[in-house]
Amino acid sequence: MTEVTAGPDQGKGYRNGAITVLALVMIAFHLAAASPFWLAPNLVLRAAHALMAVIVILLLMPAARHRAGVFVDVVLGGLAVVSLGYAVLFEPSIVVRPPWTQDATPVEVFVALSALVVVLEATRRALGMAIVWLCLIFIAYAFVGPDLRFVSWLRPLAHGGVGLSEFVDQMYFSFEGIFGTALGVSAEYIFLFVMFGAVLQVAGGGDFFITITRAMTGQTRGGPAKIAVVASGLMGMMSGSSVANVATTGSLTIPMMLKLGYPRRFAGAVEAIASTGGQITPPIMGAAAFLMAAILGIPYLEVVAAALLPAVLFYVALLLAVHLASLKLDLKPLAKAEAGSTRRVLASGWTFLIPVVLLVTLMLQGYSPGYSAFFGVLAAIVVPYLRPSTFIGWRQLVAGVRLGVEGAAVVAVACASAGIIVGIVQISGLGFKFSSVVTGFAGGSLDVALVLAMIAAFIFGMGMPTTAAYIVQATLVAPALTKLGADPLAAHMFVFYYAVLGQITPPLAVAAYAAAPIAGEKASRVGWTAFLIGLPIYIVPFMFVSNTVLLTPEGSLDLIYTLGRSVLAVGALSAVVIGWLFGARLSIVARAGLVGTAILMVHPGGWTSLTGLVLLAGVYGLQRRSLHMKESLSQ
pLDDT, one tens digit per residue, over 51-93 is: 999 999 999 988 866 677 788 889 999 999 999 999 999 999 8
CA geometry: angle 519, 525, 529, nearest 5 deg: 95
What is the per-residue pLDDT for 6?
39
Q: Is residue 52 exposed (0-12), middle (13-18) or buried (19+ Cβ within 10 Å)?
A: buried
- Report the chain's mean pLDDT, rounded to a whole number: 84
Cα–Cα distances in angstroms (integers) from residue 275 to residues 233, 269, 558, in the given order: 6, 10, 31
Of 288 and 8, more confident: 288
The predicted model gives 476-494 an average pLDDT of 90
What is the per-residue pLDDT for 2?
33
pLDDT at 413 over 70: yes
H/E segment holding residue 377: helix 369-382
pLDDT at 526 over 70: yes
DSSP bridge partners of 66? 5
Helix (H, G, I), strand (E, B) or coil at 111: helix
Q: What is the CA radius of gyration of the chain?
A: 26
What is the per-residue pLDDT for 8?
41
Helix (H, G, I), strand (E, B) or coil at 99: coil
Sign of the Cα torsion 247, 253, 258, 264 reads: negative
Instruction: Give yes or no for a contact between 571 and 612, defined as CB atoms under 8 angstroms apart.
Output: no
Q: Is residue 514 exposed (0-12), middle (13-18) or buried (19+ Cβ within 10 Å)?
A: buried
The predicted model gives 389-408 an average pLDDT of 85
What is the per-residue pLDDT for 604?
67
pLDDT at 336 over 70: no
What is the per-residue pLDDT for 508?
75
Cα–Cα distances in angstroms (integers) from residue 590 to residues 126, 141, 317, 581, 618, in the given order: 47, 51, 19, 9, 8
Instruction: Give yes or no for a contact between 284 and 240, defined as CB atoms under 8 angstroms apart.
Output: yes
What is the per-residue pLDDT for 4?
34
The predicted model gives 211-236 an average pLDDT of 72
pLDDT at 388 over 70: yes
Contacts of 47 (CB under 8 A, 6+ apart): 84, 85, 87, 88, 91, 179
Contacts of 151 (CB under 8 A, 6+ apart): none
Residue type, 53: A
Longest dimension (CA), the chain: 91
DSSP bridge partners of 584? 581
Instruction: Give yes or no for a contact between 435 and 483, defined as CB atoms under 8 angstroms apart.
Output: yes
Of 607 and 62, more confident: 62
166-180, 311-325, 596-610: least confident range: 596-610
Instruction: Give yes or no for a contact between 71 and 34, defined as CB atoms under 8 angstroms apart.
Output: no
Q: Is 183 left (phi over 0), alpha (psi -120 to 50) or beta?
A: alpha
pLDDT at 568 over 70: yes
Q: Is 35 left (phi over 0), alpha (psi -120 to 50) or beta?
A: beta
**Stated pTM of the model:** 0.83
- The string of DSSP codes covering 569-615 is HHHHHHHHHHTEETTEEPPHHHHHHHHHHHHHHHS--HHHHHHHHHH
DSSP bridge partners of 585? 580
Instruction: Give yes or no for a contact between 53 and 122, defined as CB atoms under 8 angstroms apart.
Output: yes
48-62, 471-485, 553-567: least confident range: 553-567
- Backbone φ and ψ for 282, nearest 5 degrees, come out as -65, 160
The predicted model gives 574-586 an average pLDDT of 86
Residue type, 212: I
Helices (H) and strands (E) in the chain, counts: 31, 2
C-alpha 201/C-alpha 380 separation (Å) is 9
The predicted model gives 256-268 an average pLDDT of 84
- Backbone φ and ψ for 151, nearest 5 degrees, come out as -110, 115
Instruction: Give yes or no for a contact between 410 and 57, defined as CB atoms under 8 angstroms apart.
Output: yes
Write out 219-288 in H/E/C secondary structure: CCCCHHHHHHHHHHHHHHHHHCCHHHHHHHHHHHHHHHHHHHCCCHHHHHHHHHHHHHHHHHCCCCCCHH
pLDDT at 218 over 70: no
Write out 528-573 in H/E/C secondary structure: HHHHHHCHHHHHHHHHHHHCHHHHCCCCCHHHHHHHHHHHHHHHHH
Instruction: Give yes or no for a contact between 302 and 202, defined as CB atoms under 8 angstroms apart.
Output: no
Instruction: Give yes or no for a contact between 449 and 439, defined as CB atoms under 8 angstroms apart.
Output: yes
C-alpha 338/C-alpha 311 separation (Å) is 29
What is the per-residue pLDDT for 9?
46
What is the per-residue pLDDT for 463?
64
The predicted model gives 210-232 an average pLDDT of 73
The predicted model gives 5-24 an average pLDDT of 71
84-98, 162-176, 454-468: least confident range: 454-468
- Backbone φ and ψ for 209, nearest 5 degrees, come out as -65, -40
Give the rounded percent of residues in the chain with a pLDDT score beyond 70.
Answer: 92
Among residues 204, 218, 216, which one has the least CA distance to residue 256? Answer: 218
C-alpha 483/C-alpha 440 separation (Å) is 11
H/E segment holding residue 203: helix 191-203
The predicted model gives 327-348 an average pLDDT of 73
